[in-house]
Structure 1
Amino acid sequence: MASLRRVFATSILASVLSQVLTATAQPAFGVCYGMLGDNLPTPAAAIQLYKNHNIGTMQLYDPNPEALQALGNSGISVILGTKNEDLPNLASSVEAAKSWIDAHVLPYQGVNIKYIAVGDEVIPGESAQCVLPAMQNLQSAISGSSFSSVAMTTAVSGTVLGASYPPSSGAFTGDAKRALSGILQFLSNTHAPLLINVYPYFAYAADPSNIRLDYALFTAPGPVVRDGDLSYWNLLDAMVDAYYAAMERENFPNVGVVISESGWPSAGNGNFTTPQLALTYNRNFMKKIVAGTGTPKRPDSHLDGNIFAMFNEDLKSAGEEQNFGLFYPDGTPVYPIFS
């Protein structure tokens, strides 16, 4: 591993990113804090690692009290998730939502909660109908409190899209559309973004014959896909613009997006998953987020985005799913992304 670190540390890309991060006091990029491991550091130690590397945003998938306590006055912006299994209760009444806010938000006055993610990838699915009433109830429950500026949203994956190529053809599936119609109206009314989990890795690994690796890794030397007047140099932009097109098709052109998850695993799927590929993708993703560039469809709309994930998690499904982390559980880097 030491020799591998020395090779990576000599890359010009590493130097460029280091300069960008140094010049940015609070980078716009974030890292998701998954906890599906039996050997992970304590939340306090994990959050100290965020601070050490100047990571400005955290996606926290459930209101873990130790993590929330450690986040107090850290300056880290938090996307706080509800547990999917809590959605039916949160959807049942404002009183149930108030109990959740009283227990998991109000005690943590020093935590910079930016969004509450009401459900993670439950659309389409059995719990999809719970998302909108849960969002509405939580919004009512938090109104008038010191956290009244926190926006409610939800996270979706590519399964909500029935069409995505070319990007201008982006459209939701029928099932997703039924759930998202009211949610998008809510987001439009509250000026909140939709959280989208976007993984060029999975698209490339599923169809390497038709999707170029350099297109997936942000390293293509020129446009790879042309869609009308728009040119796409990387797959992430194309995937994000498919969401924009789908929302426009439903008459919600004013709803923005935040990339709540994106990443590339370093092992678990043969030559598709190497430390070098993971380093290249995640570093280029970070550069894009920190630079504040938009997409071909919305060049002036800055994208916030999070890398998945902080640690390799050994309780996830075997293979690549266990190897998305930037760090091993002992806090050492899987590859020198911050060098």
Structure 2
Amino acid sequence: MIAFVALLVSTLIIAPASAQLIGVCYGMQAANLPSPAEVVNLYRSNNIYRMRLYGPDQAVLQALANSGIRLLMDVPMTELQSLATSSSAAMDWVLSNVAAHWPSVTFRYIAVGNEAVPGDLAQHVLPAMRNVHSALVTAGLASHVKVSTSVGAEVLESSFPPSAGAFSTDASTFLSPIAAFLANTSSPLLVNAYPYFVYADNYAQVSLSYALMNETGTVVQDGEFAYTNLFDAMIDSVHAALKREGVQQLAVVVSESGWPTAGGYGASVLNAQTYIKNLIRHVGRGTPTSPGKLEAYINGMFDENLKSPEVERNFGLFKPNMEPIYPLNFVGDRPEFDGQSESIFSGNIRLIVSLHVPS
């Protein structure tokens, strides 16, 4: 139980010289969420300038106008088949949901399906990707907006050690041509990576500190590469699997990652805060086989009480009333400073909530 909440007002925020490429997923499966305009202001006031949106919600897109927030937006699973079978449907979708809001909304990626591979809808993913990409070409936006799909850990048949990473036969059937398409269009593969679930399902074999990125020494030595955390191992196993498909230099963007505060083994406010803090710090380094900045999106902005099972309801950084669940310290990733090496100063007043938990 929280003993007390201390409020500290700071009139100057200094961001580290290297802005991290961190975004937050804006899920809406919850009651009593703030208005889209309030949510966009919440992102900006916390220096969060990247968002994942799980479908083209018009109210959110209007609220994002001229906000400077870069957007990863999904094609909902219910629309995969129609976009795969009809180029005109894909054109209509792009015109209504992307072109109509460009350039006041900065779209970065369109995720055609979320964890649709493998599965009943997997056959529609690549045709839909091709049609959406062609529509973006026609609209003159293909050089700005990249088309991809988001996959989860279930696509891997082997992941240990990371260099042995390989897609399952069912996943490879679809991911091999998808990876070739991504390489041809200079687009990344979007990957949902959750060390939490690996830890919770294998806590007798996986240490908590390895999953939370708290280790300082090598836990897994894989040839010339040393792994101190499970997150890196998971991402590099995807890189290895892609290379087995013949794609050598495909970028990976982490489209979801997070840690729950309740509802499952190892779920707690302290563990969630530790993981997110370490993730924000870590992504600027990349992984052992792919050093450099790694773009990642945290799941999620709010606790979502309409999800199931229980653990899925507790990944939020904020309560629906916009109260932070634990202290936040995002690096300023404003568009005007993207990729530059300089300190960022802000005169905005920031509210920092310090939670004190008794032992």
TM-score of the superposed pair, with normalisation by structure 1: 0.92
State the partner residue of 1:71: 64
Percent identity over paired residues: 44
Counterpart among 51, 62, 67 of residue 55 in structure 2 = 62
Task: Give the Cα–Cα distance (whole angstroms) in 1 for the partners of residues 140 and 132 of structure 2.
Answer: 14
SS at match of 1:86: helix
RMSD, matched Cα: 1.8
Counterpart among 292, 311, 315 of residue 306 in structure 2 = 315
Aligned residues: 325
Counterpart among 159, 167, 174 of residue 172 in structure 1 = 167
Equivalent AA in structure 2 for residue 238 of structure 1: A
State the partner residue of 2:285: 293
Residues 261-281 of structure 1 deviation map (CA, whole Å, 9 limit, x = unaligned): 0000011125x1110000000
Counterpart among 317, 320, 328 of residue 326 in structure 1 = 317
Structure 2 unaligned spans of 5+: 330-351, 353-359
SS at match of 2:80: helix
Q: CA deviation at 1:4?
A: 5.9
Task: Give the Cα–Cα distance (whole angstroms) in 1 for the partners of residues 31 and 273 of structure 2.
Answer: 25
State the partner residue of 2:84: 91
State the partner residue of 1:28: 21
TM-score of the superposed pair, with normalisation by structure 2: 0.87
Structure 1 unaligned spans of 5+: 10-17
Counterpart among 79, 103, 114 of residue 108 in structure 2 = 114
Higher strand share: 2
Task: Give the Cα–Cα distance (whole angstroms) in 1 for the partners of residues 24 and 236 of structure 2.
Answer: 22
Task: Give the Cα–Cα distance (whole angstroms) in 2 for the partners of residues 5 and 323 of structure 1.
Answer: 20
Q: CA deviation at 1:335?
A: 0.8
State the partner residue of 1:284: 278
The reply to whether residue 223 of structure 1 matches residue 218 of structure 2 is yes
State the partner residue of 1:197: 192
Residues 211-249 of structure 1 deviation map (CA, whole Å, 9 limit, x = unaligned): 011101111131111111211000000000000000001
The reply to whether residue 336 of structure 1 matches residue 331 of structure 2 is no
Following TM superposition, where does structure 1 have runs of at least 4 consecutive aligned residues deviating by more than 6 angstroms? none
Higher helix share: 1
Is this contact kept in 1: 2:212–2:274, CA < 8 A? yes
Q: Give the number of the structure with larger relative contact order, counting CA–CA contacts within 8 Å between residues 6 or more apart.
A: 2
State the partner residue of 2:229: 234
Q: CA deviation at 1:93?
A: 1.9
